[in-house]
Structure 1
Amino acid sequence: MTVTLADVAARAGVSSATVSRVLNGNYPVADGTRTRVLRAVDELQYVVNGPASALAAATSDLVGILVNDVADPFFGIVASAVQSEMGGEGVTGAGQKLAVVCNTGGSPERELTYLTLLRRQRAAAVVLTGSAVEETAHSTALADRLRHLAAGGTRIVLCGRPPLPPRSGTTEQPPAPAEDGVVTLTFDNRGGSHRLTAHLLTLGHRRIGYVTGPADRSTTRHRLEGHRRALGEQAPEALAEAERLTVHGGAYDRSAGYDGALELLRRAPDLTAVLAANDTVALGVCAALRDRGLRIPEDVSVGGFDDLPFAADASPALTTVRLPLHEAGARAGRLALGLETPPPGDVATVRADLMVRASTAPPAPR
């Protein structure tokens, strides 16, 4: 159903002329009134740039790439690979697109705001990268915005995220292509974490600490689930201690790894290995262990996740799980441009491979 200027006016409790003044910015309007109008525009997802009916099937040359943290190498690699496809080989003239990186800072509200803005700009495609926020209200709002974008002709690609949740049936949805027009390249975070933990268990480790990422992120949950599954399959006695040896809720950064490692050493001074939510967290873990006079891997083995460029050059080189970030980003870019056929069911799983390096070894006899 097309949303009109009158619908926005009714929702905000003002006249259509007032809505027009707020959106055009050409006439003074009280701050409270402006706030009500903009809130109504956002809630109804009103397309500002011209009549919504005329724009429903039109798109621009803009491609939005949403990242949690543009300074994080994980997102930098993916975004760069997506952008490289916008003017890559075989893409010329009208096929070229302007890629805009939108840094959400991990804010769910900012993520939704960017999607609204991209819809107003009639973006040709939107690529969302990294983990999803696991909160019901946000997940519902996100899925609603993406389906509206897809129904208006915008290609949607999720890169490193799980597929959208099924429609709840509680909110009116616009007509959309089959499978909602959303293509998903999801990372095998559970499988990769399982392989990493199994590697440590095979070496003989049983006292394994774990430093997680943000509690509300899908990636955090999936990697922890893979870790716990490996413990349950190969070392039930270690699984019984797993919760005590897990530090929850830190950020995906070095300081979280440093503080998490110190907390693990306080809880279990005799632990023999620490796994980290990602490679950056693992660097913080290594720093904390060194500051406590512990050697890696002679005293404590350390493992990370993602295989970021610095992992192989760390000292010692970091055992980690490799995600093919550049390849996945490039594929997301091709899908966003319509240059590659979507996978069956519009969902593909990107494999995560174990990279064994010098930071892990059998535990020393005690």
Structure 2
Amino acid sequence: MSQRRTTGGAGRATIRDVAERAGVSVASVSRALSGNYPVSEELRRRVMKVVRDLDYVTNAHARSLAGGGTPTVAILINDITGAAFAHVAKGVEGAATLRGWLSIVGTTGDDPERELALVNLMRHQGVDAVILLGGTNDHDEYQLRMARFARSLDAAGSHLVLVGRPPLEGDVPATTIDYDNESGAYAMAGHLLSAGHRRVLMLPGPAELTTAQGRLRDARRAFEAYGVPFDQGLVRHGPYDDEHGYAAARAALHETPDFTAVLAGTDIVAAGAMQALRGAGLRVPDDVSITGYDDIPLASQLTPRLTTVHVPYEEMGRVALRAVADRRQGAGSGGRRRSGEGEHLVLGTHVVVRESVQPPKRRR
């Protein structure tokens, strides 16, 4: 059990106790914990050491971190109606319920600033873990600020978990639960190329999103492995929704109509593209083959049933919650919580072959 000593000799440690022990001002402690202001690495280390020594948490709602109350996990998701990562949230919530944990959900609206603000809010609310779902705009400022929040969560006895996005750079106390995104895209592109397709319309997703970047990169790698020229003019970036799939496929039919297959970044995008092809009088897969990514229930409900990449979304959610529970159990039983260390777990993907792909035919 960790020792906690306050200047008053009893009760929970306060921010003034931390400041006094660290030999700095209350304002300096606040800045070091908030992650919103630049502080020296030496000051941050000194404050964080005292925070751990005193078992200080930033909010009275965090009493559960000291062993009482109901453990709580915050799930932050871009869009609660998005089918793929809603399944991750389902996995987290199911695993949490089995352990008697409470789950709360927040939406970021694909806004990096809102995402960071919600992480900060959850830290002040004293949740046991913050689980971030989905790809991100991976830039230096994001990495820096998220690393600060991860360290602040860690100092308060909480933990940051990233699901379906790249791990943070450097020695950051955050767990990453990922899936083999690139290999899935490589395998699907290889499936189309093996069927004889050479002109493939690519709808990988938003250009700035790490998920889309990885899928396009490894689809292109498959073309190189097969010795097939890759036409950048057949790439159409856009949101992961059916409206983009429809609009992109319809535009491509006017601009580059010789494509024989569509490699869509999600099953939802594939469904929109399928609608556009049918609206143009084309049959799937007789005239144009089409593939998706995710293997959500919709994929097997379309006609024809969609060939897609299976991603174990619910399992990712269960693994994320289990990782947090294991860390908490280790800390509660006197085990070492591995503060300052990160963990990166990758789950496999695979192609699910259905009826939406066949060898290309010459179209009139």
TM-score normalised to structure 1 length: 0.78
Aligned to 2:297: 309
SS at match of 1:271: coil
Deviation at 1:145, TM superposition (A): 1.1
Matched to 2:27, the amino acid is D
SS at match of 2:137: coil
TM-superposition CA deviations, 1:15-36 (whole Å, max 9, x none) = xxxxxxxxxxxxxxxxxxxxxx
SS at match of 1:74: helix
Q: Work out the CA distance in 2 between the residues paired with 1:224 and 1:188.
A: 14
**CA distance change for structure 1 residues 164 and 7 in 2, over 3 Å: closer, same or farther?**
same
- Of residues 158, 163, 166 in structure 2, which corresponds to 1:154? 158
Alpha-carbon contact 1:8-1:44 (below 8 Å) kept = no
Aligned to 2:359: 362
Paired positions, count: 311
Aligned to 1:7: 27
1:291 paired with 2:279, answer: yes
Alpha-carbon contact 1:245-1:267 (below 8 Å) kept = no
SS at match of 1:223: helix
Aligned to 1:209: 201
What residue ranges of structure 2 are gaps of 5+ in the alignment?
Answer: 1-14, 39-50, 331-336
Matched to 2:322, the amino acid is R
Matched to 1:247, the amino acid is R
Matches within 5 A, 1:189-338: 189-237=181-229, 239=230, 241=231, 243-248=232-237, 250-338=238-326
Aligned to 1:185: 177
Deviation at 1:307, TM superposition (A): 0.4
TM-superposition CA deviations, 1:30-88 (whole Å, max 9, x none) = xxxxxxxxxx967249xxxxxx7631696372211111110011121110110111121
Alpha-carbon contact 2:34-2:120 (below 8 Å) kept = no
Aligned to 1:132: 136
Q: Work out the CA distance in 2 between the residues paired with 1:9 and 1:136.
A: 24
Deviation at 1:149, TM superposition (A): 0.9
Alpha-carbon contact 2:35-2:149 (below 8 Å) kept = no
SS at match of 1:348: strand
Deviation at 1:9, TM superposition (A): 12
Alpha-carbon contact 1:126-1:156 (below 8 Å) kept = yes
Aligned to 2:85: 75
Q: Work out the CA distance in 2 between the residues paired with 1:8 and 1:151.
A: 16
Q: Work out the CA distance in 2 between the residues paired with 1:297 and 1:355.
A: 16
1:86 paired with 2:75, answer: no
Alpha-carbon contact 1:78-1:328 (below 8 Å) kept = yes
Q: Work out the CA distance in 2 between the residues paired with 1:281 and 1:354.
A: 17
Alpha-carbon contact 1:214-1:252 (below 8 Å) kept = yes
Deviation at 1:235, TM superposition (A): 3.2
Runs (4+) of structure 1 exceeding 4 A deviation are: 1-6, 8-11, 339-342
SS at match of 2:233: coil
Matches within 5 A, 1:33-72: 43-44=36-37, 54-55=56-57, 59=65, 61-72=71-82
Alpha-carbon contact 1:299-1:363 (below 8 Å) kept = yes
Alpha-carbon contact 2:35-2:152 (below 8 Å) kept = no
Deviation at 1:119, TM superposition (A): 0.7
Matched to 1:199, the amino acid is H
Matched to 2:236, the amino acid is V
Matched to 1:206, the amino acid is R
Matched to 1:353, the amino acid is H
% same residue = 36
Aligned to 1:173: none
Q: Work out the CA distance in 2 between the residues paired with 1:337 and 1:123.
A: 13
Q: Work out the CA distance in 1 between the residues paired with 2:173 and 2:34.
A: 24
Q: Work out the CA distance in 2 between the residues paired with 1:9 and 1:62.
A: 25
Q: Work out the CA distance in 2 between the residues paired with 1:142 and 1:183.
A: 13
What residue ranges of structure 1 are gaps of 5+ in the alignment?
Answer: 12-39, 46-51, 167-178
Q: Work out the CA distance in 2 between the residues paired with 1:134 and 1:41.
A: 21
Deviation at 1:267, TM superposition (A): 2.3
Alpha-carbon contact 1:246-1:264 (below 8 Å) kept = no
Deviation at 1:109, TM superposition (A): 0.8
Deviation at 1:362, TM superposition (A): 0.5
TM-score normalised to structure 2 length: 0.79
**CA distance change for structure 1 residues 316 and 44 in 2, over 3 Å: closer, same or farther?**
same
Matched to 1:7, the amino acid is A
Q: Work out the CA distance in 1 between the residues paired with 2:86 and 2:129.
A: 19
Alpha-carbon contact 2:177-2:316 (below 8 Å) kept = yes
TM-superposition CA deviations, 1:103-146 (whole Å, max 9, x none) = 11111011001111111011111111111222221222122212
SS at match of 1:186: strand
- The alignment's C-alpha RMSD in Å is 2.9
Deviation at 1:181, TM superposition (A): 2.8
